[in-house]
Amino acid sequence: MLDLNNLKKTDFYYDLPQELIAQTPLEPRNSSRMLCLSKESGEVSHDHFYNLCNYLKKGDLLVLNDSRVIPARIYGEKMDNGTFIEFLLLEQKENMTWELICRPGKKAKVGAKFSFGGGRLLAEIIEVKEDGNRVAKFSCDGGNIFAALDEIGQMPLPPYITEKLENKERYQTVYSRELGSAAAPTAGLHFTKEQLDEIKAMGVNIAYVTLHVGLGTFRPVKEENVLDHKMHSEHYEMPKETADLINETKANGGRVIAVGTTSCRTLESVATFNDGKIVADDRYTSIFIYPGYKFKVLDGLITNFHLPESTLIMLVSAFAGYENTMNAYITAVEEKYRFFSFGDSMLIL
């Protein structure tokens, strides 16, 4: 029995064979398997993502995160001696000023200057933060850092993906448009444009929020006591038209289904900050959802399979129930589902 007053990191451990970690995306996008979990009964069934329509009803609302991943990993050299440096851009502070992780960090003291892409992009470290992250001021011809990153940057794939990604767009959702994420909202990678059209045609509404995914979402929980873990904050935006659609759906008895933990965290943050109401909103959130949390908005969740002992499996456990979630994960391992960013899907209703 889970002790909600004494949640341990190890409560969320499951054994995952290395070969089940997906290294490459499937083609077509929606050919992945889909484990279907009833949050009421805990019953598990198996399907494919291309059959998602069979589980949706007219009047439901899918909420998607339209954030777009920046090719945020860049390789360059220190300008005074030519030694190697790697930057991973995390968050834009101003137009040309970014917070980032770099390695080797000892080369990146305040005042150190670096060149990337043969001088296409230049950077100077202006701050070293307490957690070891750096803040750098960039410059480039034309003053458009995103154009420069498109030319020289690589997708910031998680460390468990070791194979090279041939097509950068496969680490973007087909509906991505707002640049700003350091990692993909991976639950949405399964959708094709044709499937979204099919969903709309059956009377299911689709709405968008933006939450720029920071690497803090994936930061391992180091403290054994879950409540001691500190979440990084991430910026989100809830447009008025999405807020209106959510309220309309709820009023008419439809279900609000979040595509991904990022959409879920956005919805629940808006409700938390606004006394349970869904309104247009634009701010930072460090919401941490774990068993015992009372959901204010969500009726369903489409998600991928997450790392053992991560904040994301804790969120899923809060929504679907702890026993249901851990049993579903054990089943997914037994059935040899593909795990993590390029892996299979999970539908919780």
pLDDT band at 218 (very low <50, low <70, confident <90, very high): low
Global pTM value:
0.93
Sign of CA dihedral 194, 213, 234, 340: positive
Classify domain 73-152 at the CATH superfamily level.
QueA-like (2.40.10.240)
Is the domain defined by 9-69+167-348 classed in CATH 3.40.1780.10? yes
Q: What is the mean pLDDT of residues 40-60?
A: 98
Write down the pLDDT at residue 217: 66
Q: How many CB atoms lie within 10 A of CB 298?
A: 20
Please enumerate in sequence order all residues whose Cβ is within 8 A of that of 276, keeping only pairs 6 or more positions apart, or say none. Answer: 296
Q: How many CB atoms lie within 10 A of CB 203?
A: 12
Q: Where are the domains of the chain?
A: 9-69+167-348, 73-152
Q: Do the Cβ atoms of 114 and 77 come closer than 8 Å?
A: yes
Q: What's the CA gap between 56 and 300, in Å, rounded?
A: 10
Write down the pLDDT at residue 91: 87
pLDDT in tens, 71-109: 999 999 999 999 999 999 988 998 899 999 999 998 899
Residue 285 has pLDDT above 80, yes or no: yes
Residue 135 has pLDDT above 90, yes or no: yes
Write down the pLDDT at residue 220: 82
